[in-house]
Structure 1
Amino acid sequence: MAEVFYWILSFVLILTIFCLLGYQLILLVDLEFDYINPYDSTSRINQVILPEFFMQAILCFLNLFGGHWFIFFISLPCLYYNATLYIKRQHYADVTEIYNKLNFEKKKRLFKVGHLFVIFILSILSLVWSLADEVR
């Protein structure tokens, strides 16, 4: 039963992080095409940055405590990067520099989406592997 709860929580966290990153990417694309002003865009992005970091940390430590070491080590670099940004106080989008850093911010979030997609695929494979071992 604990394994089922682990997988449900893991997939909910991964999908929530996907939604938060997708929301940030949509806001950056809207800013690029001048559908939204820089102040609104950065304020909306900044509202979801800390929840994204927090959920990434929960996902990482959930894999650690769940005994899924490979997925934990795969998700650890993203957690380290987020912690480094937070410690250096560079995690928020700056309204005055958003146009200069727009391409970098989009690429950073696309890289996070790709990284999270790899974790998602590995989680599905690990789920199938554990279910196959349970059936035997």
Structure 2
Amino acid sequence: MDRKKLGMGNLLGWLVTFFFLISLLSIICYQLICLIDLEIDYINHYDSAARINKFVVPEFIIQAVFCLACLITGHYLLCFLSLPYLYYNFSLYRRRKHLVDVTEIFNQLNWEKKQRLIKLGYLSMLFFVFIFWLIWTVGTDNY
């Protein structure tokens, strides 16, 4: 195969995984904003829980597809680094603790915020590894 075609395929793989990672970061930030709005009493608990729960399952699906896309495109380090997050989401879903309970949201507000902040930190670390690896790959490709 032509080197230029291989380079374009590699670029397409990087773009696909980049958009999945950005969408995950956006979803987590949106959930954090909803929790902060609830904490400072901008929205009621029902609306906050409904907004957060609307994006929980899509977050899990995007994370799984991101991990699969990293595996398919040959970004094995990113796939390996995203497996603990995928396992955590899977275990939450399996135990049926993935949705925010409307009646208990005020009691669990600090835990929910801490959980989202840890996810945001983990995804930010993954994003920086992604950017470093992308720059490294582009710098070492000879077209």
Q: TM-score, normalised by structure 1?
A: 0.95
> Structure 1 CA distance, aligned partners of 2:9 and 2:120?
28
Aligned residues: 136
Match of 1:128 in 2: 135
Is 2:114 aligned against 1:107? yes
Is 2:92 aligned against 1:95? no
1:54-100 deviations in Å (ceiling 9; x for gaps): 11111111111222222111110000000011111110000011011
> Structure 2 CA distance, aligned partners of 1:68 and 1:12?
15
SS of corresponding position for 1:62: helix
Identity of aligned residues (%): 46
User: Which amino acid is the alignment partner of residue 41 of structure 1?
Assistant: S
Match of 1:38 in 2: 45
Query: What is the aligned counterpart of 1:54 among 56, 61, 84?
Result: 61
User: Which amino acid is the alignment partner of residue 30 of structure 1?
Assistant: D
Is 2:27 aligned against 1:4? no
Is 2:40 aligned against 1:28? no
Unaligned runs of 5+ in 1: none
> Structure 2 CA distance, aligned partners of 1:46 and 1:102?
14
Structure with bigger gyration radius: 2
Query: What is the aligned counterpart of 1:71 among 72, 78, 97?
Result: 78
> Structure 1 CA distance, aligned partners of 2:71 and 2:15?
16
Q: TM-score, normalised by structure 2?
A: 0.91
* Alpha-carbon distance, 1:133 to partner: 1.9
Q: Which moved more, 1:60-69 or 1:74-83?
A: 60-69
> Structure 2 CA distance, aligned partners of 1:111 and 1:73?
18
User: Which amino acid is the alignment partner of residue 65 of structure 1?
Assistant: I
Q: Which contiguous aligned blocks of 4+ residues in structure 1 show a shift greater than 2 angstroms?
A: none
User: Which amino acid is the alignment partner of residue 140 of structure 2?
Assistant: D
